[in-house]
Amino acid sequence: MHRGMRGVVLAAALIAMKAEAAEGTAPPAGVDPASATTPAKPAKTAYGAFPDRLTLSGNVNRTLGGHVFTPALLIRSPFAVTQVGADLLYGTGTADGNKPALIDGNRGATTYEFAAMGQNFYYDQRVADGVSVGGGITVLFYSGISGPSAVVLGLEVGYGLFGRVTAGRQWGPVKAAFTFDASYAPQYAIHVLDAIQSFQLQSGSITQAALTSSNGLTVKPGGALAYAVSPAVGLTLSADYQGVWTRPNPGGSWNYSSGIDAGVALDLDFGTFTTAPVAAVGAFRITAPIGSSDITTVYDYTVGAFYTGRPPLVLGVELGQRRFKFRNLDAVANLIQFRVQYLW
């Protein structure tokens, strides 16, 4: 073959080889090239760096409108799920009041210090579409942590059982549910100051026991609503009526008090627009009495962060503040709260 013609053939062969390499592997012998297709590239999802979360979370029933809701500790969830979990609360606080005469003859204003601890352990079972039942145990502890604080504030310990029902339905990006919670929690208290004061008033006879006990039954019918603002943002609202029966001692009569709880939470899932498997949560809740009541006004605020890399796992921490009455004193508690749940 002519040298010039040979160069043209070689050049054409090289161009064909490069084109074949760019398009993919040639079809096997005997296969019509027209029927051979190059495998399609995986489609990108609109759910950020973790495309499996949207599918997986549908199996644990907390996905709505493309958003995977992160449950805040202050808000009653409208989602019916099967789960096991624990909520742990620890903190310290201060209570403002006057000095008792037996501690300091100068009855000026002072501040007392206390510690707080709370724990809930629970299990919920999803029994039908939108319906779940569950229950668990609860423990609550408050105590003065300095000499005068221990005398004035004393120590209070409560423990008991609780149960709950959730029954909801979905309308597009909205989930609404009827909720019902009930708890029975005996409480024990050591009030040193009350016993000492009764001793002084009765000239050597103590009429007020330092250790007291009471029983409490609480029912809370209400509702909760979740709205998916976008795949990144979720809004949750909850409210309930609170009926409380207390009996100061085993032989006493039951007293009834009533109040309301209302709260709102907003969660932002960073995994929808970044590679960070984290959600941020902020929440507010108020408890208020209805009429003359043993229930006192309580304000709760929290902000927190939760891991979102595995949809069945809820793992997070919230920092919060509670403003309330402790032994009829204006108290403020700074709290850290942990939540661990596993859903399936």
Rounded to an integer, what distance in angstroms lies between the CA atom of residue 261 and that of residue 288?
Answer: 7
For residue 58, pLDDT over 90 is answered with no
Phi then psi for residue 250, to 5 deg, are -55, -30
Residue 46 located in a structural domain = no
Contact 322, 73 (CB under 8 A): no
At 193-205, the pLDDT tens digits run 766 666 555 555 5
At 191-238, the pLDDT tens digits run 777 666 665 555 555 455 566 777 889 999 999 999 999 999 999 999
First to last CA, the chain: 74
Rounded to an integer, what distance in angstroms lies between the CA atom of residue 287 and that of residue 218?
Answer: 14
Contact 343, 308 (CB under 8 A): no
User: For position 104, what pLDDT does the model report?
Assistant: 54
Residue 14 located in a structural domain = no
Residue 42 located in a structural domain = no
More confident residue, 34 or 47: 34
Residue 44 located in a structural domain = no
Rounded to an integer, what distance in angstroms lies between the CA atom of residue 231 and that of residue 64?
Answer: 9
Averaged pLDDT for residues 307-336: 93
pTM (2 d.p.): 0.78
Residue 15 located in a structural domain = no
Residue 9 located in a structural domain = no
User: For position 344, what pLDDT does the model report?
Assistant: 84
Task: Count the domains in the chain.
Answer: 1
Among the listed residues 62, 113, 42, 45, the one whose alpha carbon sits nearest the alpha carbon of residue 342: 62
User: For position 105, what pLDDT does the model report?
Assistant: 55
**Domain of 59: which CATH number?**
2.40.128.130
Residue 32 located in a structural domain = no
Where in the sequence is the domain holding 271, given as residue range(s)? Answer: 52-343
Rounded to an integer, what distance in angstroms lies between the CA atom of residue 50 and that of residue 277?
Answer: 8
For residue 40, pLDDT over 60 is answered with no
- CA distances from residue 214 to 137, 157, 163, 190, 248 in whole angstroms, order as listed: 18, 11, 20, 12, 4
